[in-house]
Copies of this chain bind each other. A is one copy, B any other.
Amino acid sequence: MAACRLLTRDSAAQLLSNIDTVLTDCDGVLWQGTEALPGAAKTIAKLREMGKRIFFVTNNSTKSRLSYVEKLKNLGFEANEEEVYGTAYIAALYLKNIAKVTGKVYMVGNKEMAKELDLQGISYTGVGPDPIEGTVTDWKTLPLDPEVTTVLVGFDEHLSYMKMIKAASYLSNENVQFVATNTDERLPVGNGRVIPGTGCILAAVHTAADRDPVILGKPSKFMFEVIKERHDLDPNRTMMIGDKLTTDIMLGHNCGLTTLLVLSGVTSLEEARQMQASNSIEHQKCVPHYYLNNMGELGDIL
């Protein structure tokens, strides 16, 4: 059972000798918004020097792999496309290889998700603004695209009531598949502003459709299964670093990885301790093996 221990210099040496692959979350671990977190790039470089393989795994669906590589490089992280797994890319893979989508995807999503669908040769519609017009009399006879076989929900800053009508109407056909990138609720940016996450957009569509989506992001094992298969990972020798208990840490437990929580993102040590004190099996899956204040500290003790 994980015990939420502070990772010390001694325990880090011991731990890293048993690890050859590191999966790391991005928002709240490597950066906050558009700024790198102090020491994070240095830590990643040090892990590479030690011969560890690195994979960047994020639920954020607002960037294609190429855009992530660009952001990583701009913020001082060495990275290549094969190391980046975001839910825009993962959704395209899922639709192509698992759901085997024919016809068109109705996307409550964004341009970067569209890019990944393009690369997999999947047709779609719905990206961009779609403001509401007319009244309920018009809405109830709204034309639907007969080619749509799948609804995909990710981050969409252009969410509108019109999109909610369309998504829920497509989903009223039980043969239409329902897929979502992730359920992260919000990206706290401090100073009294709340940036709602995909989970809020999904909540609207989900409530309208009254159906459960397949969810691809962490803590779903799907993302890890893809990486594991492609890169031949051994879960016993893999560590997951993240800032969120219900996604990053639970993913680790779901896949048999060692987990390290950093406190530079959405989670306080108190919340982790509350999970630890709980008897619920779900909560126990949110308890990290180790914690540190931030990625910079990991570099310092390696």
Contact = CB atoms under 8 A, between A and B. Distances in A.
Interface of A: 33-34, 129, 131-132, 136-137, 139-142, 144, 156-161, 164-165, 168-169, 171-173, 185-187, 189-197, 199-201, 203-210
Which residue, A34, A139, A199, A206, has most C-beta atoms of chain B within 10 A? A139
Number of copies: 2
A168 B204 CA distance: 15
Contacts of A195: 136, 139-140, 165
Contacts of A193: 139-142, 144, 165, 169, 172
Contacts of A172: 192-194
Contact of A208 (B136, B144, B186): B186
A278 B42 CA distance: 59
A207 B192 contact: no
A129 B129 CA distance: 12
Contacts of A203: 203-204, 206-207
Contacts of A34: 136-137
A149 to B, nearest CB: 14
Contacts of A196: 161, 164-165, 168, 204, 207-208
A142 B144 CA distance: 36
Contacts of A201: 161, 204
Contact of A192 (B173, B199, B210): B173
Given A131-B131, A137-B34, A140-B33, A208 B192 contact: no
Contacts of A205: 200
Contacts of A129: 131
B136 A33 contact: yes
A265 to B, nearest CB: 15
| A132, A191, A203 interface centre (most CB from chain B within 10 Å) | A203
A291 to B, nearest CB: 23
A131 B34 CA distance: 23
Contacts of A187: 136
B194 A200 contact: no
A185 B165 CA distance: 12
Given A136-B187, A197-B208, A203-B207, 14 more contacts: A140-B189, A140-B190, A156-B161, A158-B161, A159-B164, A159-B204, A161-B201, A164-B200, A168-B194, A169-B194, A173-B192, A185-B210, A200-B204, A200-B208
